[in-house]
Structure 1
Amino acid sequence: MAEEAEGHLPDDHARDDPGHDPYRVGAAPADGCVYNVTIQMLPTEGKRYRFTADFSILDMGDELPPQVQADNAWGALAMSGKPRDVGVFTRRFERLTAAALSPEETADYVRNLSREIK
């Protein structure tokens, strides 16, 4: 059985293994897995930071400057590479990740939720 990366869904063979934990955090990546992805959930209960629009921060390495892409409720898209705009959305992203469950807490949350819906 191949080891999994964070956020990688197990294949059908792994699901048949009763000791297999598809939500394990920090495992070594298997072939074809993405291992630069961290998954954190932002629960809806309680007082937590929320942002009402979808956005992406695109960091394309040293070749191009970072860009921010923001969507609004009407489906419009705005792009900007201005350092001030990128900084605003970077700080919003940092507040969202600080308010979210840790990757380990997220794995526990999903594991418990999957037990509840079985």
Structure 2
Amino acid sequence: MEYILKEHGGRLPVHIKAVPEGMVIPTKTALFTLVNTDPKCFWLTNFLETLLVQVWCPMTVCTQSRVQKIFIAKHLEETGNTDWTIPSGVCFKLHDFGFRGVSSVESAAIGGCATW
């Protein structure tokens, strides 16, 4: 870290490109790329990738919630429901029981935020 502080002014010598948040993209698309710009910091890429892939859980929850909301909306429309506000609307009909199956309160909060 002293080297990064001295040689890079405290900025990590990496270049990150990422898909903008909220984008709907096809499967098998890289969500982000991380390139180390200083060979002396070879360890940094693996360390940062390990941290960045922690977004897997909320992205998976968000993807599932989106598909379920589309499914609910389709069937509400087919059955003649025109009231999209609470309590009849799509957001109210998708219930989150994810708190029951996670390892911590923090995990539940992260997954729960992703349902909206």
TM-score (norm 1): 0.30
Report the structure number with the largest CA radius of gyration. 2
TM-score (norm 2): 0.30
Structure with the bigger percentage of helix? 2
Kindly indicate whether structure 1 or structure 2 has the higher relative contact order, using CA contacts under 8 Å at least 6 residues apart. 1
